[in-house]
Amino acid sequence: MKLTPVAEIRDPVHGYIKVTEIERELIDSPFIQRLRRIHQLAGAYLVYPGAIHTRFEHVVGAMHVAGQIAEALVAASHLDADTVQEVRVAALLHDVGHGPFSHMYEEVISDKNEATSHEEISQRIITETSIRDTLNRNGFSPKKMSDFAVGRQRSKPPFMNEVIAGSLSADMMDYLPRDSYFTGVEYGKVDSQRVINSLHVAEGHLVIDDAALNAFEVMLLARYEMFKAVYFHRTVRAAELMLVRSMKLADGVLGLTDLSDLERYLELTDEVVLYKLVTLESSEPDLKEANRLALDFRDRRLVKCVFEKLVQRREHMVGQIFADEDARNSVVSEIAAAARVDPGQIYLDVPTTPSVPYTYSKEVLTAVGLLKVEGSRRVVKAVPLSKLPIVGSIAGFMDMVRVYTTAKNRSAVEKATSHLFKDKGFTSKVSE
């Protein structure tokens, strides 16, 4: 079935994106339009002024790339042409459940329910709102599409989910060049089209032609560098830590993590939540602090990084030392006691992430399927990432330890942290 475009969107990353009738109806819904009011990179615009792009542009771009992947698989006889529209719709809906400030909100909500994420909320929106009616009217099962949109569809081969989420996904092939474009950071410029045109399916999974290995490696390296330069930039994280703490402190009053009322949740966008925080009026200490942090975030009065250690390892080192919230709180208390400052003025940031993407099932990617030609035969081999010429050198985890505090407490906290972390095998510190 050939798709019939009824409109087109001019996109700075992909050029003209053609839109079908069902896609236009979904894009015009309040649920996709809401994504215009959620920044793609949360507080990164305080460091990279151009990073004011939103989840809206990303889901439209991901839809476009997913369509390109699907069409490439159709051309290679791995996918039925009638499935292309389904793939595009799934990609369009994949981020519909994101909360205010994107992944920052998930840091807040994880304290209340670790099992809840934007994927679960996306599934609820797809099955409990008028999106359900749009899908039904166009012949799609809302339940199946809600699973497909977050890479959890069980009724079809795994490669279908991998188009939406994974190391060869439309999601990554859009956010890397998009985030690069809007931040001005060059690392995310990748040859996605080369990768897309080389995709095949073997044993139910996406594999890549051996001839396109270089383009795939560049993509993984670009993601690695974007994490260091943008997503986990020390000043970006400073802003995000402040706003996350502000939201946590005010949650009891503002009900930011109350998911019982979906309609109320959908009103929570970046500007709404920030306005609620900066207009808080209370003599209660936690709420006063929440208000102060939000005002400082808004006006870019950020906490300072006084200690930093970045470690590239095969296994989680940071995850072992700071295994849970109690362990992290204990470290903060030790630093605070030694520095003689209020523990509330210290931020311990220990994000951990795989240096290469997760698979569609959220497992760490350890190998890639390569399609090779051996004599007259085409064979598929699972090649461990450690065996790839360049990617093998970065495969593992990017473990980070950072300590932040206010300008007033900077010297005392820096000294206390350095002494404490020497005993834990961390010796690096930051001086700005």
Q: Is residue 52 part of a domain?
A: yes
Q: Is residue 245 part of a domain?
A: no
User: What's the pLDDT at 373?
Assistant: 79
Give me the domain span that covers residue 141: 5-234
Q: Is residue 252 part of a domain?
A: no
d(CA 426, CA 95): 37
Q: Is residue 90 part of a domain?
A: yes
DSSP character for 222? H
User: What's the pLDDT at 432?
Assistant: 45
Q: For tokens 């009011």, what's the residue?
A: 37
DSSP character for 351? -
User: What's the pLDDT at 54?
Assistant: 98
CATH code of residue 147: 1.10.3210.10
Please list the pLDDT of the chain residue by residue as tens digits (432 residues).
689 999 999 999 999 999 999 999 999 999 999 999 999 999 999 999 999 999 999 999 999 999 999 999 999 999 999 999 999 999 999 999 999 999 899 889 887 765 578 889 999 999 999 999 999 999 999 999 999 999 999 888 999 999 998 888 999 999 999 999 999 999 888 899 999 999 999 989 999 999 999 999 999 999 999 998 999 999 999 999 999 999 999 999 999 999 989 999 999 999 999 999 999 999 999 999 999 999 999 999 999 999 998 765 555 555 556 767 788 889 999 999 999 999 999 999 987 777 788 887 778 888 889 888 787 788 888 888 878 877 877 777 777 889 999 999 999 999 999 988 876 666 555 544
Q: Is residue 376 part of a domain?
A: no
- For 376, phi then psi, to 5°, come to -100, 5
Nearest to 198 by CA among 15, 354, 50, 75: 75
Nearest to 369 by CA among 235, 191, 148, 207: 207
Number of domains in the chain: 1
For the record, the structure tokens of 182 come out as 């809007």
For the record, the structure tokens of 416 come out as 């206390």
Q: Is residue 70 part of a domain?
A: yes
User: What's the pLDDT at 376?
Assistant: 76
User: What's the pLDDT at 428?
Assistant: 55
Q: Is residue 137 part of a domain?
A: yes
Cα distances from 193 to residues 68, 174, 203, 215, in angstroms, run: 9, 11, 23, 9
User: What's the pLDDT at 148?
Assistant: 97
Q: Is residue 17 part of a domain?
A: yes
